[in-house]
């Protein structure tokens, strides 16, 4: 299903590109079919395969805002549900199932957006599963991985064990992390990024942001302003991959 194209408009002096949104079905080999959404501006220069977090699906408000913000910056997004979320089950899929879903999404995004820079990753669980999949075998045509809040450890249980597989990732990675993120103590994450090296890993800290980049009122800025920083940093990094 293809929804009507959104006409181009101007916002704060910037041209907002006309956008096409397609509601799709994604076939995952030997597993089943899940829902997906391709949001594509005219003349997109990149596509971000955006996997959702453990507790909310691809239509969550955060996912919608990221997709809309990237579209306005000339970047397409391919969102999809993991099978457990499609079937409304409470427990996330086993890694092998999540990895298969990610590989199917990457392949479909590459087919629908030929010739553009392809990036994968996503929010929390989705980003971690993407990095695991990449470490087990390169995701075809993917030039880099971008994490919107990498879940380095369980809440209030600092550790870096969940990052051990990152040594097997050979393409550039971007970690966008709030300094108040309870799932990524920066005193543990920074050494991980440093060990990976500047050619493989970049850390961008969102001052005062939590796991979803929400900031406290006393910070002097809004959640939307913090998310704007996230999107601008992500797009600038994607442009370096081209």
**pLDDT digit string, tens, across residues 48-70:** 999 999 999 999 999 999 999 99
Annotate 71-119 with DSSP letters as a single string.
HTTTEEEEEE--HHHHTT-SSPPPHHHHHHHHHHHHHHHHHHSTTSEEE
Give me the number of domains the chain comprises.
1
Residue 12 has pLDDT above 90, yes or no: no
In this structure, is residue 60 part of a structural domain? yes
Residue 1 has pLDDT above 70, yes or no: no
Burial class (CB in 10 A: 0-12, 13-18, 19+), 18: middle
In this structure, is residue 149 part of a structural domain? yes
The shares of helix, strand and coil residues in the chain, as percent rounded to the nearest 5, are: 35, 25, 35
Segment 140-144 mean pLDDT: 98
Please report the pLDDT score of residue 5 as a whole number. 47
Please report the pLDDT score of residue 17 as a whole number. 57
116 is in which domain, residue-wise?
9-241
Half-sphere exposure of 86 (CA within 13 A, CB side): 20
In this structure, is residue 3 part of a structural domain? no
Residue 2 has pLDDT above 80, yes or no: no
Q: How far apart are the C-alpha atoms of 222 and 208, rounded to whole Å?
A: 11
Please report the pLDDT score of residue 16 as a whole number. 52
In this structure, is residue 46 part of a structural domain? yes
Residue 185 has pLDDT above 60, yes or no: yes
Segment 148-157 mean pLDDT: 96
Where is pLDDT greater, at 6 or 213?
213
In this structure, is residue 48 part of a structural domain? yes
Residue 52 structure tokens: 């959702």
CB atoms within 10 A of CB 186: 18
Percent of the chain scoring above 90 in pLDDT = 91
Please report the pLDDT score of residue 242 as a whole number. 82
In this structure, is residue 213 part of a structural domain? yes
Q: Is the pTM of this model over 0.75?
A: yes
Please report the pLDDT score of residue 6 as a whole number. 47
CATH number at residue 79: 3.40.50.1820
* Phi and psi angles of residue 220, each rounded to the nearest 5 degrees, phi first: 90, 5
Residue 165 has pLDDT above 90, yes or no: yes
In this structure, is residue 170 part of a structural domain? yes
Residue 15 has pLDDT above 90, yes or no: no
Please report the pLDDT score of residue 138 as a whole number. 97
In this structure, is residue 4 part of a structural domain? no
Please report the pLDDT score of residue 193 as a whole number. 98
């Amino acid at each position: 299903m293809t929804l009507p194209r959104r006409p181009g408009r101007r916002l704060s002096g910037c041209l907002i590109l006309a956008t096409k949104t397609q509601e799709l079905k994604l076939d995952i080999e030997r597993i089943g079919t899940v829902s997906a959404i391709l949001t594509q501006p005219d003349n997109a220069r990149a596509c971000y395969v955006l996997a959702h977090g453990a507790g909310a699906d691809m239509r969550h408000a955060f996912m919608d805002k990221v997709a809309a913000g990237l579209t306005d910056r000339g970047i397409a997004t391919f969102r999809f549900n993991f099978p457990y979320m499609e079937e409304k089950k409470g427990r996330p899929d086993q890694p092998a199932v999540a990895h298969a879903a990610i590989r199917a999404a990457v392949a479909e995004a590459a087919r629908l957006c030929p010739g553009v820079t392809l990036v994968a990753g996503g929010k929390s669980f989705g980003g971690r599963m993407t990095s695991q999949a990449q470490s087990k075998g390169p995701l075809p045509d993917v030039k880099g991985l971008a994490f919107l809040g990498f879940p380095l450890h369980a809440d209030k249980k600092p550790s870096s064990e969940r990052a051990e597989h990152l040594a097997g990732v050979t393409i550039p990675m971007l970690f966008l992390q709030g300094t108040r993120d309870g799932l990524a103590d920066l005193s543990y994450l920074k050494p991980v990024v440093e060990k990976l090296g500047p050619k493989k890993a970049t850390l961008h800290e969102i001052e005062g942001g939590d796991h979803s980049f929400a900031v406290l009122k006393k910070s002097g800025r809004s959640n939307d302003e913090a998310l704007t920083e996230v999107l601008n940093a992500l797009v600038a990094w994607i442009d370096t991959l081209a």
